[in-house]
Amino acid sequence: MEMEPVIGLEIHAQLNTRTKLFCSCPTEFGAEPNTNVCEVCTGQPGALPRMNALAVELAAKAGLALGARVNGRSLFSRKNYFYPDLPNGFQTSQLDPPVCEGGGLGIAADDGSAKRVRLNRIHMEDDAGKCVHDERRGITLVDLNRAGTPLIEIVTEPDISSSREAVEFLRKLHGLLVRLGVTRGRMEEGEFRCDVNVSLRPRGSSRLGVRGEIKNLNSFRFVGQAIDYEIRRQSGVYAAGGQVLQETLHFDSAKGETRSLRSKEEAHDYRYFPQPDLPPVQVSPELLERLRAELPESPEEAAARLLGLGLKDGQARLLLERRGALEYFDRAHAAGASPQRLAALMEELFLPFCQREGAGPLDSPFAPGLMASLAGLAGDGTLGRRKIQELSERLFREGLDPARVVREQGLAQISDEGELYELARQVVEAHPGESAKYRQGQEKILSFLVGKMMKLSAGRAEPRRAGELLKEAIARGGEG
């Protein structure tokens, strides 16, 4: 029987606030253990939580941007379980009603068609602390700096059919939330992480199979690997006539495989009940209106706008996925650059450079205005493709003005036809053997001569034009 994968995601995004969800302790990362704590976030008896208003705004903003319904009134509940890094003995989360319900995000399906991954809900909750296992000393230390950090959990419907679709959805969602300022999205600091539910069912069936839930993946690559591994594992179980068990799994990224953390029998019974210490969360119509007005264009709108500017599909997607790339593009475009030329420079040179450097485009010393100037020099033929490639690393790293570099170093492509023909003539004269071979029909030899001409011109000839002029010079027997 042919089986198809059914995948749903639960994404945790840390909200971009300075302080925690229910107290005024800072959310900064990397502080000395247990220094950003108070009586509220360490769960002292009698301490009362106070709602962070910005967190509510950010959660509502995420919902609006994702086409969800934002509830005017939602509630916090206590989700009870015991864990050493959970000082209250419960997590403060939202069961019913959550802050947002419904919504969705469009992606390209594996068959190339457009597909919308529906959202079930978005709810707010606080994060737990962290256990640090010191194996050498055989002890476990608890750091509560992270306890009480505000999160939203975004729960999708099981609308995803492959690892590729899951990763595209996550990249898009991440890009959108970062652009909105809802989260800073630094995955290496755990600000954007994901649980993945994977099950298999007979192709065409509408029934859901038994699922494995892989916890806490914090890179797009691991999400893809974990899903592919889990699909293979479950297929193997069914093929051998077995039954897949409902399990919570951990993905071991070093081994590239999942392993069981606990089975359904050991699943928690959280005994949710309303959190009596917090009033209902209110989102007023006025607040919604203001947030709606502040909303940037949606990914669909942005993609349509970029395609309208003549960008290729992949370029538009790249600009939407890379943090800061669309803003950078828009600023350079506003400074007068041709959108297509700009997109090509960013795709081929600038974004790969930023990625190698591990920095965002907007943090680069090579400001959008300089990129516009570089696109201009490419457009009017002053700088050839090869020359730009050669210069790019230095320009980007040092934030140099390309027009000035061209002027000071005399790098401009030679546009004077007479000057170019003279170079071609010299090359033909210096290589009579090769020129004769070309005349006898060995056309491939031309690229050798073009290479010589590029060298003679110090890279300032345009290769295609050089080829044409060389042919002309050969036809005229190397005469001036």
Q: How are the residues of the chain apportioned to helix, strand and coil, as percentages rounded to the nearest 5?
A: 40, 20, 40
Residue number with CB closer to Zn ion (45 or 285): 45
Distance CA 401, CA 115 (A): 43
* Tokens describing residue 175: 């890009």
Residue number with CB closer to Zn ion (277 or 347): 277
Q: Where are the alpha helices (DSSP H) in 7-78?
A: 53-65
Q: Should residue 128 be labelled a site residue for Zn ion when binding is judged by CB under 5 A?
A: no
Max Cα separation, the chain? 98
Site for Zn ion, residues 11 to 30, rule: CB under 5 A: 23, 25
Shortest distance in whole angstroms from residue 44 CB to Zn ion:
10
Shortest distance in whole angstroms from residue 125 CB to Zn ion:
16
Residue number with CB closer to Zn ion (19 or 156): 19
In which element (H, E) is residue 69 found?
strand 69-70
Please pick, from the candidates 6, 9, 15, 41, the single residue that binds Zn ion as defined by CB under 5 A: 41
Q: Count other C-beta atoms under 10 Å from residue 272's C-beta.
A: 16
Distance CA 218, CA 433 (A): 62
Shortest distance in whole angstroms from residue 28 CB to Zn ion:
13
Residue number with CB closer to Zn ion (257 or 277): 277
Shortest distance in whole angstroms from residue 140 CB to Zn ion:
22
**132 bridge partner residues:** 141
Lay out the site mask for Zn ion across 370-399 (x = CB under 5 A, - = otherwise): ------------------------------
Residue number with CB closer to Zn ion (40 or 249): 40
Shortest distance in whole angstroms from residue 182 CB to Zn ion:
22
Q: What is the dihedral of CA 79, 82, 87, 88, to 10 degrees?
A: 40
Nearest CA to 7 out of 223, 184, 191 is that of 223
Shortest distance in whole angstroms from residue 49 CB to Zn ion:
9
Which amino acid is it at 124? M
Phi and psi dihedrals of 98, rounded to 5? -80, 175
Residue number with CB closer to Zn ion (87 or 339): 87
- Residues in the interface with Zn ion (CB under 5 A) total 5
Shortest distance in whole angstroms from residue 23 CB to Zn ion:
3
Q: Should residue 31 be labelled a site residue for Zn ion when binding is judged by CB under 5 A?
A: no
Residue number with CB closer to Zn ion (25 or 283): 25
Site for Zn ion, residues 403 to 462, rule: CB under 5 A: none
Q: Should residue 38 be labelled a site residue for Zn ion when binding is judged by CB under 5 A?
A: yes
Q: Count other C-beta atoms under 10 Å from residue 47's C-beta.
A: 15
**26 bridge partner residues:** 19
Binding site for Zn ion (CB under 5 A): 23, 25, 38, 40-41
